[in-house]
Amino acid sequence: MDNIEILWFGSAVNLRKLSADELNIRVGQSVAKPVSAVRNLGVLIDAELSLCDYVSRLAQTCFSRLRRLRSVHHHLGQDVMERLVCALVLSLLDYCNIVLAGLPASTLAPLQRVLRVAALESCST
C-alpha cells in the first residue's frame, strides 16, 4: 500500500495553483503521491486530458511496425501485406479510439499521418 498514486485532473493553470500539501492525500498510514499521467487499458491519460503523449507513443509504435513491414513487403503479396497492415497497425489505431473523440486536429495529426502511410504501404507491393 506504499505505492498509492493519484492523478489530479484540470487545466495547467488550475493544477499549478494547488500546493504540495493539497496534492498529497493521506490514505490510512500511506500518502497518495500525485503523478502526471496514468495508464489504463493501455491508454496513457494525463492530468489535462490532452492525450498528447498517448497519441505520440501510439504513432511511434505504428510507424515502427510499418517500417518493419516495409522491410519484408517485397517477399509478400499485396493481399498478405494488406492483412498485416490491418492486423498490426490499424488494429492499434482502433483500440480504445473512443478516447480520442473531440481532440483537436493538431493532436490527431500524427495518427492521420499513420493512416496515410498505412494506406500507401498496403497498396504497394
Tens of pLDDT, residue by residue over 77-86, are 889 999 999 9
Mean pLDDT of 33-61: 92
Domain locations along the chain: 5-35, 50-123
Long-range contacts of 58-61 (CB under 8 A, 24+ apart): 58/92, 58/93, 58/110, 58/111, 58/114, 59/110, 59/111, 59/113, 59/114, 61/92
User: So what's the pLDDT on residue 112?
Assistant: 97
pLDDT band at 73 (very low <50, low <70, confident <90, very high): confident
Task: Check whether 125 has a pLDDT greater than 60.
Answer: no
Task: Check whether 124 has a pLDDT greater than 70.
Answer: no
User: So what's the pLDDT on residue 5?
Assistant: 79
37: left (phi over 0), alpha (psi -120 to 50) or beta: beta
Q: At what angle do helices 78-85 and 105-123 cross, to 10 degrees?
A: 160
Mean pLDDT of 49-56: 95
Write down the pTM of the prediction. Answer: 0.81
Q: What is the pLDDT of residues 5-26, one digit of tens each?
A: 788 888 889 888 888 777 888 8
